[in-house]
Structure 1
Amino acid sequence: MNDTPGWASPGSAPSDGPDGKGQDSTGQNGDAQGAAPQDAVGQGPQWSKEQPPPAQWSAPSGSPGSSGSSGPGQTPPPPPPAPGQGWGGQAPGQGGWGQGPGGPGYGGWGAPPQGGGWGQGGWGGPPAAAKPGVIPLRPLGVGEILDGAVSTMRTYWRTVLGISLTVAVVTELLVVLLQGFFLNDSATTAALDDPDATPREVLNALGGLFIGTGVVLVVTLLGTIIATALLTTVTSRAVLGTSVTTGEAWRDARPQVLRLLGLTLLLPLIVAAVVFVGTVPGILVAVLGSSDGGIALAIIGGIAGFVVAIWLMIRFSLASPALMLEKQTIRKAMGRSSKLVRGSWWRVFGIQILATIITNIVSSIILIPFTFIAAAISGDGVGLLDSTGDSGWAFLIISGLGSVIGSTLTFPITAGVTVLLYIDQRIRREALDLELARAAGLQGYGTAPGATPGG
């Protein structure tokens, strides 16, 4: 029998009450039990008249002799139970592992553990983990991580949705203004649809398109960084069951925002560099002679580089919460993420992909109707929303409104899943649940029977 905390051997805890009922150390109790069948004639179970002689009953090893024994070292057979009692003088419902006249364990395993083992008074299953906040303090399943992210948004909705809505509105407002005033020049992009356009015109159009897309991505990236920094603090406090205001979250996250910006810019550069290195051999072969072979080699190298880039991105996917919560540098945060993901790459990959799919579905469900409405209104040219240019103000404003709603709902899920996945990996590897329990004010966590810190 495993003797680790949470397990108790049968009969390891006494079943007697404080008055010592059922004990036979003085011999008086044995007389009382022997008299019970005399008072219960015709009421209890009918015992056979042919019983084995007392000499054939041997006392259990190590048990004291009884006052009614018929020979040295021997005891008479145990008397039948009195009406309304079980073996050992226990009333019905007190368990079938009572004590016999020879002490605990006679004719069985003694009394069941009182208050020990799993469950209350039985073996009903492992003890429930402490849950001071949105997640239980133990290794988490996929559903618990997703539920924890949603529970954080639902429980602390004022702070979470306030942060997400503010960041989404500011970000989308800048994007709409940039697209409406600077990046929506139909004359520039018309060259891409003109078959008679000169190479210079095509290059200018592509350059303008890339610049516009890059500016929008940078603005969106900045908004995502700020939202992630603030929501990381909120989610980490939600694990402890404590709330935090937007101002408190900003004061806690502000020293790390620039580092988070550097980390967020560094990771895409690593991906681009890896993919580029994979295509370099094919490019060289194409330049030096064999164009067809070079193109094929570049495609194969690009695919191989893309696979390596995905592996690296998942390996460093927990660097953001490590940087924010542990106040690490960029290099140390990437090292921490690599250590936590090691041996669990596929699990982290699956959870991150699942969260990405869920957020994209939610965002699409919200954005698609706004896009159709924006296209219909922009095409009709209704009043002041009459468009000028390819997209037009109507399309930009209405589709931007859909993007704001979608980002408000998806920012907390993305940040919450990453933070809870980071906490889950630290619980599995470093028993972080002990520190979280102490921070939450749980007394004696990890020392009670049944507690298994870290897993």
Structure 2
Amino acid sequence: MKDTPGWASPGSAPSDGQEPGASGPAGPTDRPGSAEPSDQPGPDPQDAPDPQGPGSQWSKQQPPPGQWSAPTGPADPGRPTPPPPPPGPGWGTQPPPGPGGYGTPGPGGHRAYGTPGYPAWGGGWGGPPPAAKPGVIPLRPLGVGEILDGAVSTMRTYWRTVLGISLTVAVVTEILVILLQGLVLNDTSTAALDDPSATPSELTRALGEVMLSSSAVFLISLIATVAATALLTTVTSRAVLGRPVTTGEAWRDARPQVVKLFGLIVLLPLIAAAIVLGGTLPGILVAIFGNADAGVALAVVGGIAAGVVALWLMIRFSLASPALMLEKQGVVKSMSRSAKLVRGSWWRVFGIQLLAGIIANIISAIVILPFTFLAAALGGDGVIGFLNSDGSNLGWTFLIISGIGSVIGSMITFPINAGVTVLLYIDQRIRREALDLELARAAGVQGYGTDAGSGG
């Protein structure tokens, strides 16, 4: 069988019995009974006489010295010595391109060693070629640092669009929260919660007011999170392809999915709350109708177990938001897609999102705390009075100054959280579904993935 051009290793005999470029026979010329060179090719090297025996002569065309050395060690007297290597380039060199040589396709269209993307003989393996990077991330499986850097690079490269979206959402949200706290929540009395002599009706009323105010603030924050996530998901997906996007384009692309995204973000906390309630409910019932101490202990144990289950489910569904926005899926289908992508990588997804959350909260705290102390100092009671208060009856000065700090903090945390989630979703799809090939084609990268395709 003839070797494919460019694949024959140095030192191996050509399969046709003739050295490349030689016009005479490949075997020894002193074969008994043949004074003149024969037109027929010599026998197989395995049948040739021992070259170390008397009277053996070899072709004068020998390879240049120092190109390669034969393995050292004791020779096996019962095994014939293979013929010397054919003349040609040594290890680590590359013949000029030509028909059938390095750099040209061989039989069947396969490229030979030495062409771009394939190591030459003796050249060593220098690792895979660098991945294409049309946007903020390379199109290959990402590391933790690359995901975080991609989120920051998106915010830095497209800062007008990203900060414009984050600022708009944060300002509208904080204005609503300030008005709610200043006009409604300051009238809420929580003193009964700290009064040991309060009646059950007073405690119930105070607890209901606190829950109502907290729910109102949570609902406003939830709507803001939905809007920011929807718009920033579109921006980040365009940033991966290296394509700019305006706020108007991001809104037009995200608008059909906003209602579904709102339903998803409302549904996930309700699922978590239902699981925790289901875990603590047996203990509560035991405490009410039976032994109080046993009921409390059972409620604590059940709450911890239910909390673990709820955390596991929330991480499992954590990629549902980008799946819903980018794949135009429904709520249930996006949750199923997230569960499929996270399967087998739960700890990795959990660790990356936990790290991103810690970084975002630290940055937010660094920004908000100075504004909070400044607001307390400029308020009527000062910093000491603010620290000793129960958080009610906050003045407008405090609410406005602290609100400015919250707006700045949200401008930073919104893009980080949304960017990490989207890039983590893209990374999981690259690892499981070879999404990098589709992204490269969408970005217009020429020739990306053709080597892999030609080898099949």
User: Is residue 60 of structure 2 the alignment partner of residue 76 of structure 1?
Assistant: yes
Distance in 1, Cα, partners of 2:317 & 2:272:
11
Q: Is the 8 A contact 2:63 2:86 kept in 1?
A: no
Find 2:430's aligned residue among 422, 427, 430: 427
Superposed, 1:222-237 pairs within 5 Å as 222-237=223-238
SS state at 2:451 partner: coil
Return 5+ residue gaps in structure 2 as ranges: 1-5, 11-18, 25-41, 47-54, 69-83, 96-112, 383-390
Residue-by-residue CA offset, 1:306-342 (whole Å, 9 max, x unaligned): 0000000000000000000000000000000000000
Separation of aligned partners in 2, 1:400 and 1:318: 30
Could you give the per-residue CA deviations for residues 60-106 of structure 1, whole angstroms, max 9, x where no partner exists? 959xxxxxxxx88731373766xxxx759xxxxxxxxxxx983447x
Cα gap change, 1:245/1:116 in structure 2, threshold over 3 Å: closer, same or farther?
closer
Q: Does 1:418 align with 2:421?
A: yes
Q: How far does residue 292 in structure 1 lie from its aligned partner after superposition?
A: 1.2
325 and 80 in structure 1: CA distance in 2 versus 1, 3 angstrom threshold: closer
TM-superposed deviation, 1:210: 1.1
How much has 1:10 moved relative to structure 2?
Answer: 8.0
Alignment of 1:70-149 (within 5 A): 74-76=58-60, 78=62, 102-104=86-88, 111=94, 113-116=113-116, 123-149=125-151
Residue of structure 1 equivalent to 2:409: 406
Distance 1:150 1:376 in 2: 34
| Cα distance in structure 2, aligned partners of 1:235 and 1:403 | 23
In the alignment, is the contact (CA less than 8 A) between 1:378 and 1:394 conserved in 2? Answer: yes
Aligned mate of 1:153, from 155, 162, 167: 155
Taking the aligned partners of 2:199 and 2:338, their CA distance within structure 1 comes to 49
Distance 2:241 2:272 in 1: 35
**1:298 and 1:9, CA in 2 relative to 1: closer, same or farther beyond 3 A?**
farther
Distance, in Å, in 1 between the alignment partners of 2:405 and 2:368 is 5
| 1:286-365 map, 5 Å | 286-365=287-366
Provide the C-alpha distance between the structure 2 equivalents of 1:441 and 1:200, rounded to a whole number of angstroms: 68
> How far apart are residue 123 of structure 1 and its match?
3.3
In structure 2, relative to structure 1, the CA distance for the partners of 1:102 and 1:79 (3 Å cut) is: closer
Residues 126, 450 of structure 1: 8 Å contact kept: no
Paired residue type of 1:258: V
Q: 1:450 to 1:148 in 2, by over 3 A?
A: farther
2:22 counterpart of 1:25: yes
**3-state DSSP of counterpart to 2:440:** helix
Rounded to whole Å, the distance in 1 between the matches of 2:288 and 2:196 is: 27
Partner-residue secondary structure (3-state), 1:442 = coil
- In 2, distance between residues paired with 1:119 and 1:76? 32
Cα RMSD (Å) = 3.5
Contact 1:10 1:111 in 2 (8 A): no
Structure 2 counterpart SS, 1:219? helix
Q: Which residue of structure 2 aligns with residue 447 of structure 1?
A: 450
Q: Tell me if structure 2 keeps the 8 A contact 1:24–1:101.
A: no
CA contact (8 A) 1:285 1:294 kept: yes
Counterparts of 2:231 and 2:368, CA distance in 1: 25
Q: How far is the alpha carbon of 1:390 from its aligned partner?
A: 1.9
Gaps of 5+ in 1: 1-7, 13-21, 28-57, 63-70, 89-99, 382-387
Change (3 A) 1:296 1:241: same
Contact 2:62 2:86 in 1 (8 A): no
Structure-2 separation of matches of 1:155 and 1:108: 46
Q: 2:192, 2:202 within 8 Å by CA — same for their partners in 1?
A: yes
1:168 paired residue among 157, 167, 170: 170
Structure 1: which amino acid aligns with 2:225? T
Deviation at 1:201, TM superposition (A): 2.2
Of 390, 395, 403 in structure 1, the residue corresponding to residue 393 of structure 2 is: 390
Q: What amino acid maps onto 1:138 in structure 2?
A: R
For residues 157-203 of structure 1, the C-alpha deviation after alignment (integer angstroms, 9 at most, x for no partner) is 000000000000000010001100111116x2333344443332222
Off by >4 Å, runs of 4+ in structure 1: 8-12, 58-62, 107-113, 116-122, 449-453
Instruction: Find the aligned partners of 1:309 and 1:123 in 2 and give their Cα distance.
Output: 47
* Identity fraction in percent: 67
| Paired letter, 2:283 | G
Q: What is the TM-score with the length of structure 1 in the denominator?
A: 0.76
Query: For residues 285 and 452 of structure 1, what CA distance do their matches in structure 2 show?
Result: 67
CA distance in 1 between partners of 2:161 and 2:375 (Å): 30
AA aligned opposite 1:78: Q
For this pair of structures, how many residues does the alignment match? 383
Q: Secondary structure at the match of 2:312?
A: helix
Measure the CA separation in 1 of the matches of 2:238 and 2:169.
20
Alpha-carbon spacing, 1:126–1:118, altered in 2? closer, same or farther (3 Å):
farther
Matches of 1:109 and 1:160 in 2, distance apart? 50
Name the aligned partner's letter for residue 442 of structure 1: V
